Amino acid sequence: MDEKETLGQRIRRIRQDRGLSLAKVVRDDFSRAFLNQVELGKSRPSIRVLRIIAERLGTEAEYLLEGQEAGIERELALEKGRVLLLQGDPRRALLALRPAINTYDWPLGSDARVCQAQALISLGRKDEAAAIIARERSTIELHNDHHRRERLRTVERGQEFRFEDDAVEAHLRLADRATRAGNNHDELEHYRAARVLLEAGPRVPTQR
């Protein structure tokens, strides 16, 4: 990939590689003229429109913006931030989260920013946290994600997110829900979490 490739050039290249016309990408969501202007670098799409374009092109908004897929580095940043926060170190958590908080990739970016808000609350920076929470609430509602909605409410109350019942069972239920929704990312996350908990110590085998 040419390092100087712009957002518009990347969109046009992928669209042409897929054999898609302007009309097939825009459908009824925006005009062909607008997409043409984006490809020429004369207009810049909103995040909502960029996500629509990415979906129609069969890629991610992250790739269109940066020319690279959301990498393991961002996932590691999120998990390190979460662990540091649970260990009571919000300052280091904020530093760890930096590679992930600006990504538009769902749900990674939203999860990172909610974690960022939680760290800010712990540091007494409630106004900054409130602004982040307000933005992420809209994103989470757009995706109708019950689990993340509950997590956000917990963070907003200044509390740590904890499963109230058996954690393994909770993760398996969420994995099943993600499976039905076709959300492979969350399905993997919850099965992985359940596996780690099961390996952490002896317990009565879970009946499903």
Please tell me which of 71-80, 125-134, 176-185 the model is most confident about, judged by mean pLDDT.
125-134
- Give yes or no: residues 128 and 184 share one domain: no
Asked if the structure places residue 205 within a domain, the reply is no
- Give yes or no: residues 122 and 76 share one domain: yes
Distance CA 131, CA 116 (A): 11
Asked if the structure places residue 40 within a domain, the reply is yes
Q: What value, to the nearest 5°, has the Cα angle with vertex 95 and ends 108 and 193? A: 40
Q: Any idea what the CATH number is for the domain that residue 16 is in?
A: 1.10.260.40
Q: Which of 90-94, 99-103, 139-143, 192-196 has the lowest mean pLDDT?
A: 192-196
Q: Across the chain, what does the average pLDDT equal?
A: 83
| 67-71 average pLDDT score | 62
Tens digit of pLDDT for each residue in 8-27? 999 999 899 888 999 999 99
Distance CA 42, CA 44 (A): 7
- Give yes or no: residues 104 and 51 share one domain: no
Asked if the structure places residue 1 within a domain, the reply is no
Percent of the residues in the chain that have a pLDDT greater than 70, as a whole number: 87
- Give yes or no: residues 151 and 81 share one domain: yes
Asked if the structure places residue 206 within a domain, the reply is no
Q: What is the pLDDT of residue 22?
A: 94
One-letter amino acid of 170: A
Residue 206 in this model has a pLDDT that exceeds 50: no
- Give yes or no: residues 61 and 91 share one domain: no
Asked if the structure places residue 162 within a domain, the reply is no
- Domain of residue 41: give its range: 7-66
Q: Any idea what the CATH number is for the domain that residue 91 is in?
A: 1.25.40
* pTM for the structure as a whole: 0.55
Listed residues 46, 66, 86: the one ending a domain: 66
- Give yes or no: residues 108 and 144 share one domain: yes
Asked if the structure places residue 207 within a domain, the reply is no
Confirm if 105 and 69 have CB atoms less than 8 A apart.
Answer: no
Listed residues 66, 82, 110: the one ending a domain: 66
Torsion of CA 186, 190, 195, 200, to 10 degrees: 130
* Number of domains comprising the chain: 3
Residue 34 in this model has a pLDDT that exceeds 60: yes
- Give yes or no: residues 80 and 144 share one domain: yes
- Give yes or no: residues 127 and 56 share one domain: no
User: Where does residue 156 rank: exposed (0-12), middle (13-18), buried (19+ CB within 10 A)?
Assistant: middle
Residue 188 in this model has a pLDDT that exceeds 90: no
Q: Which of 3-17, 26-40, 156-170, 194-208 has the lowest mean pLDDT?
A: 194-208
- Give yes or no: residues 25 and 77 share one domain: no
Extract long-range pairs of 127-132: CB within 8 Å, 24+ residues apart.
none
Asked if the structure places residue 151 within a domain, the reply is yes
